[in-house]
Structure 1
Amino acid sequence: MLLDCDEQLCMTYSQSGEKGAEKLLSKWAEISTHTDPKILGTTLSPDLFLVNEEAAMNIAFSTARKYWGRVSTELQLFFEKHGLDEKFVHDRLNAFFYTQKGKETFFEQLFAQHTMDLERLIWLVFGKRWQVTLPVDDLQTIFLYKFKDEYFVHMIYKEEALFWHWLFTKKVYSLLIHKPLEQFTFIHEMMRHFERSAQITYAHVNNFVYNYRKNLDKCITYVDKHNASCLAKKQLRLYQIVTHYRLSVGDYQSVKELITSFEADWRYSMYALTEKEKVLISYILLHMGHEEQDHETVIHYGEYLLEDERLNNYAIEIMLEYKDLLPNRKPTPPAIIKNYTLNYLENLYAVLLDNYVKMERYQEALTLIRENVLASNKKIHAALVQQNFSNEQFIAIEASVQQDIALQVNNSLQHIGLSVEEWRQNYRESDAPYYFVAQSSSLHMLNILKVLFVTEQYELFEKLMEVYKKYLLIDDHFGKLRLFIRAYV
């Protein structure tokens, strides 16, 4: 089921491309009463695509039933692999798509999640999440957002996918220009979908990142000027900050300016920054400071984020709203050999420890290692806390390193000896799959060694040095450690 405007634009786009569709929009705009800044081309009047609740429900559900209510041959093969026969699959789909209860469940989930795809639908119907890539269907995604008493429903189809992504960005942009921001909910999520569709639509543009940021800034400046203070306005500005940070490569001046302006505008507002938003900004400032080797800034924000477990307390909310910002690989406290950039807490400890060392704040660094297991690993942490440097503990530390290596090389604790041998032959090679793990682990281990040496934890230092030389030695890194020790002595 297509809206009239979707059908006309699709036909024009397929015949004359984006330019033809823009011409059609210009004709429609001549009879529109809306003011149009034309930042991203001509806007589309929301009156043409916003519908009431009943229409949104019918459009979304009938479209899902048309494309997902029957099982293709490819999808049936998928179900058979998981032990579901054809009759069972059809019965479950019919019970879902041809009952009022199924329709209500579908709409509740779509309204709560704002998107529906085949994977989520299968979970709704069969109650299982399969960690596999499902067959690509003709209908890829259904979007749904509420604006006061109206709904924005939009589909992405496999056929003419570029058009449907282009139209989605056009509609979101038009809503930003013509609808009061106070009617927007979950604007950060909508903008994330907007950005993804823009990347797909303009993948052929060489300077996409520059143009996206430039047009985004123009759009947000216009929207900011034409709307009163509200929660969505603040969320839109936060999205702008996060986007500039994610898309910046080394030059963070624009991000800093946006943060300064944002904090000044909202500090004394009735929508003053929440602690979660302060944590979000502090996280960005910490990592920009680390890139720019501003050690005092890193330590200031690192300590703030660790105090009262601030980052950990708000990490899930931040990840839900800004999915690409916090690396969310599961933490591995037993491991010392790992890529510390893959988990936000392990990364925070590694970054803070590195900056303590560079600022020669060794006692604070020792406290960080002693009080937080993720700053080293369980075995090293236990040795420091217990101050019991027995030979058995040293053997346990080396064994844990060998296990780390086996998991990195073969994702298995079988044949540890063979995995360790393969690691030792290849970990310095830039094309090795665990090269970045070795680089990250080496730098972090050396920071630990420096702290132990300066704070006179000599027994543990000597054992870890043996382990480092045996399994992780990188000549360039080790040369800097030798210079450090020589200078300190």
Structure 2
Amino acid sequence: MLLDCDEQLFMTYKQGNVEGAENLLATWLEAEVDLQEDPKILGTSLLPKRFLVNEEMAMNIAFSTARKYWGRASTEMQMYFDKYGLDAKFVNDRLNAFFYTQKGKETFFEQLFAQHTIDLERLIWLVFGKRMQMEMPVNELQTIMLYKFQDEYLVHMMYKEHTSFWHWLFTKKVYSLFIHRPLEQFTFLYEIMGHFEHSMKMSCEHVDNFVNNYKLILDKCITHVDKNKSSCLAKKQLRLYQIVTHYCLSEGDYHRVKDFITSFEAEWRYSMYALTEKEKVLIAYILFHIANRELQSEKVIHYGEYLLEDERLNNYAIEILLEYKDLLPNRKPTPPAIIKNYQLNYLENLYAILLDHYVKATRYEDGLLLLKEHVLASNKKINTSLVQKNYSSEQLIAIEAYVQQDIALQVNNSLQHIGLSVEEWRQNYRQLDVPYYIVAQSASLHMLNILRVLFVTEQFELFEKLMEIYKKYLLIDDHFENLRVFISAYV
């Protein structure tokens, strides 16, 4: 079930590609009177009254479309269900009970409203009450999308056939809402902008240098919004999205990101929508990583300590992750491990970077305090040894045992046959083509910073044990040479 405007644009697109659809949009726009000027940042806009519908119509369109394409198990789908012992009669009875009852319709719409999208995999979870670990067949209907704007709804389908068109049409609708509707109506701005960016990529695969083109379009849209829309919470959120997007797509040049942050803080600091603690943490996190890449140790330390104070980053990490999925690396932290890729978890990475800059700034006592106060800055056994000043032979042996377990998990993801895993590691961890090469590089650099701090602060017993472990399991020649030069110079 398609809206009239979707169907007309799709038919025109099939006859004359996107240019034909753009011409049809221009014809529609010319027929309107008393309309504000269209800036044509993303081609001709589509008036929201053509595609926004009331709640009842949104429910009917979304549910009837889902029922049409997903209401019965195809032969290909049933092959997957057979693997779980679910026969065709049981599957189709459950689908019928979902798609032909009011309760099923309400459950479907509640889920769609909460998540903004639904696909076949999520639908199966709704119908059967569990997630099935199986690769779902590619279906003609890919996704149903839903967003609320005041008392109206944007409901949009993505189909397998002519995928780029459906993504193009979605970006056109979102763009048109920015042009023609008050920003206050954007209640799920982060989510819709994430889908907008994805659809831009899908519809512009043929465009060279997509990143620069997307940033340019985004900046033009936000400049237009700044100039023509009243101040509101959504405008601030849009500016934050601009900052995060430029940071994630910066490719090493952070001048514009820093300029955006400076102007953003100046504009919003004293407004009625002043920055929240979470937003300050978000900006500090970005500036922390920019300072690290620009080798500005004092700034790294300033922002790193701010993020750790009162557990600021940890307190707001989940909210930031929900809004900006790609910003914080969120692999589960591993406090027992010392040999790991520190870039995979935002806190472990923060500790590793901060310790590195404490060393660069010769602030070794601060580095020691970091190791004592935060388990993830080293690992459980090293932290316990420092806090309790327990350097017994049993404690030091336990540290090595933990390292061997780390290695076994990196090599074979198993604690069986630890000895064989350790031997394989020692033979291969310097080889570029092994999957744990990056782990070894990351762990080596961090371990050497720990050794520098321990040496300067005269924690010699622990230093000697960790040096022994490093030489035995993690020695990388150029890294170790830097440590040797450091110790020689210090002595």
TM (norm. structure 1) is 0.98
Match of 1:313 among 311, 315, 327: 315
- Counterpart residue number, 1:400: 402
Match of 2:162 among 160, 163, 167: 160
Aligned residue type for 2:234: A
Contact 1:450 1:481 in 2 (8 A): yes
Aligned residue type for 1:143: M
Contact 2:454 2:460 in 1 (8 A): yes
Distance 1:131 1:200 in 2: 26
Secondary structure, aligned partner of 1:341: helix
- Counterpart residue number, 1:325: 327
The Cα of 1:131 is off from its aligned counterpart by 4.0
- Counterpart residue number, 2:484: 482
Counterpart mapping for 1:229-308 below 5 A: 229-308=231-310
- Counterpart residue number, 1:15: 15
**Alpha-carbon RMSD:** 1.0
Distance 2:14 2:472 in 1: 62
Distance 1:326 1:263 in 2: 22
The Cα of 1:482 is off from its aligned counterpart by 0.5
- Counterpart residue number, 1:6: 6
The Cα of 1:466 is off from its aligned counterpart by 0.8
The Cα of 1:194 is off from its aligned counterpart by 0.4
Dislocated runs of 4+, deviation >6 Å? none
- Counterpart residue number, 1:350: 352
Distance 1:105 1:183 in 2: 25
Distance 1:468 1:14 in 2: 63
Contact 2:80 2:134 in 1 (8 A): no
Secondary structure, aligned partner of 1:452: helix
Instruction: Give the paired residue count.
Output: 489
Secondary structure, aligned partner of 2:226: helix
Distance 1:466 1:487 in 2: 21
Distance 1:394 1:319 in 2: 37
Contact 1:43 1:174 in 2 (8 A): yes
Task: Choose 240-249 or 66-75, whichever is displaced more.
Answer: 66-75
Distance 1:440 1:465 in 2: 16
Aligned residue type for 2:382: I
Gaps of 5+ in 1: none
- Counterpart residue number, 1:469: 471
Q: Does 1:113 align with 2:112?
A: no
Distance 1:453 1:83 in 2: 61
The structure-2 alpha-carbon separation of the partners of 1:132 and 1:310, relative to structure 1 and needing over 3 Å to count, comes to: farther
Aligned residue type for 1:201: S
Distance 1:134 1:71 in 2: 11
Distance 1:34 1:73 in 2: 52
Secondary structure, aligned partner of 2:202: helix
Aligned residue type for 1:457: Q
Counterpart mapping for 1:414-429 below 5 A: 414-429=416-431
The Cα of 1:329 is off from its aligned counterpart by 0.4
Secondary structure, aligned partner of 1:364: helix
Q: Does 1:335 align with 2:309?
A: no
The Cα of 1:134 is off from its aligned counterpart by 2.3
- Counterpart residue number, 2:433: 431
Secondary structure, aligned partner of 2:343: coil
Distance 1:10 1:396 in 2: 66
The Cα of 1:130 is off from its aligned counterpart by 2.9
Aligned residue type for 2:353: V
The Cα of 1:85 is off from its aligned counterpart by 2.1
- Counterpart residue number, 1:364: 366
Q: Does 1:42 align with 2:44?
A: yes
- Write the deviation string for residues 22-54 of structure 1: whole angstroms up to 9, x where unpaired: 111111111133420001111111111001111
Contact 2:364 2:457 in 1 (8 A): yes
Q: Does 1:176 align with 2:189?
A: no
Contact 1:34 1:45 in 2 (8 A): no
Contact 2:355 2:449 in 1 (8 A): yes
Distance 1:415 1:17 in 2: 60
- Write the deviation string for residues 364-408 of structure 1: whole angstroms up to 9, x where unpaired: 110111111100011111111111111111211111111111111
Gaps of 5+ in 2: none
The Cα of 1:132 is off from its aligned counterpart by 4.0
- Write the deviation string for residues 75-118 of structure 1: whole angstroms up to 9, x where unpaired: 21212212322222111111111000110111111111111111
- Write the deviation string for residues 293-349 of structure 1: whole angstroms up to 9, x where unpaired: 111111111111111111111111100000000001000111111100001111111
Aligned residue type for 1:8: Q
Distance 2:447 2:85 in 1: 48
The Cα of 1:133 is off from its aligned counterpart by 3.2
- Counterpart residue number, 2:227: 225
- Write the deviation string for residues 445-478 of structure 1: whole angstroms up to 9, x where unpaired: 0110000000000011011011111111111111
Counterpart mapping for 1:19-38 below 5 A: 19-32=19-32, 33-38=35-40
Contact 2:254 2:290 in 1 (8 A): yes
Task: Choose 25-34 or 165-174, whichever is displaced more.
Answer: 25-34
Distance 1:439 1:253 in 2: 29
Secondary structure, aligned partner of 2:146: strand
Aligned residue type for 1:5: C
Aligned residue type for 1:37: P
Distance 2:87 2:143 in 1: 26
Secondary structure, aligned partner of 1:197: helix
The structure-2 alpha-carbon separation of the partners of 1:231 and 1:132, relative to structure 1 and needing over 3 Å to count, comes to: farther
Secondary structure, aligned partner of 1:143: strand
Task: Choose 125-134 or 189-198, whichever is displaced more.
Answer: 125-134
Distance 1:279 1:114 in 2: 27
Contact 2:359 2:367 in 1 (8 A): yes
TM (norm. structure 2) is 0.98
- Counterpart residue number, 1:200: 202
- Counterpart residue number, 1:78: 80
Distance 1:131 1:475 in 2: 44
Distance 2:104 2:45 in 1: 36
The Cα of 1:151 is off from its aligned counterpart by 0.5
Secondary structure, aligned partner of 2:155: strand
Distance 1:233 1:361 in 2: 41
Q: Does 1:55 align with 2:57?
A: yes
- Write the deviation string for residues 168-222 of structure 1: whole angstroms up to 9, x where unpaired: 1111111111110011111011000000111111122221111110111011100
Distance 1:372 1:85 in 2: 53
Distance 2:383 2:458 in 1: 16
The Cα of 1:152 is off from its aligned counterpart by 0.4
Distance 1:407 1:81 in 2: 30
